[in-house]
Amino acid sequence: MLAQRLRERGITVNAFNPGLMPGTGLARDAGPVLQLLWRTVARALVVLPPVNTARASGRNLAWLLTAPELANVTGAYFEGRHPAGSSLASHHAEANHALYQRSLRLIDAAGRG
């Protein structure tokens, strides 16, 4: 919804999934066993496609923000550098509208606080 509203102003809005990133503190609130697994085994998983280092995800995000070929792409969902289909729920117009309206109210409330 935001992408549609800002398109006429020349502003692009896209979603980005950085993938699973071991070493970023994601499991900091987990129990000790899961934290140990996350610090050891999970770091070895970066050889798998949906798992990235923070550096690789950062490079992918920078590409999404600066690639000339994406200058007019808006309303898309990217997994790393690849356009992907978003969830079925993300296409539910009524839920999108409700989320957008709620977001506006929260932004307004934060501005008054």
pLDDT tens column, 72-81: 999 999 999 9
Q: How many C-beta atoms lie closer than 10 Å to residue 9's C-beta?
A: 6
Is residue 30 assigned to a domain? Answer: yes
The answer as to whether 102 is a domain residue is no
Answer yes or no: is 73 within a domain.
Answer: yes
In a domain, 101, yes or no: no
Number of domains in the chain: 1
SS3 26: coil
Q: How many CA atoms lie within 13 A of 22 on its CB side?
A: 17
- Residue ranges of alpha helices (H) inside the chain are 2-7, 32-44, 54-66, 93-112
Residue 35 has pLDDT above 90, yes or no: no
- Given a cut of 80, is residue 26 above it in pLDDT? no
CB under 8 Å to 10, separation ≥6 — which residues?
none
Identify the domain containing residue 20 by its residue range. 9-86
In a domain? residue 112: no
On whether residue 79 sits in a domain, the answer given is: yes
Q: Is 24 among the domain residues? A: yes
**82 membership: H or E segment, kind and range:** strand 82-84
Q: What does pTM read for this prediction?
A: 0.75
- Residue 81 is assigned to a structural domain of this protein: yes
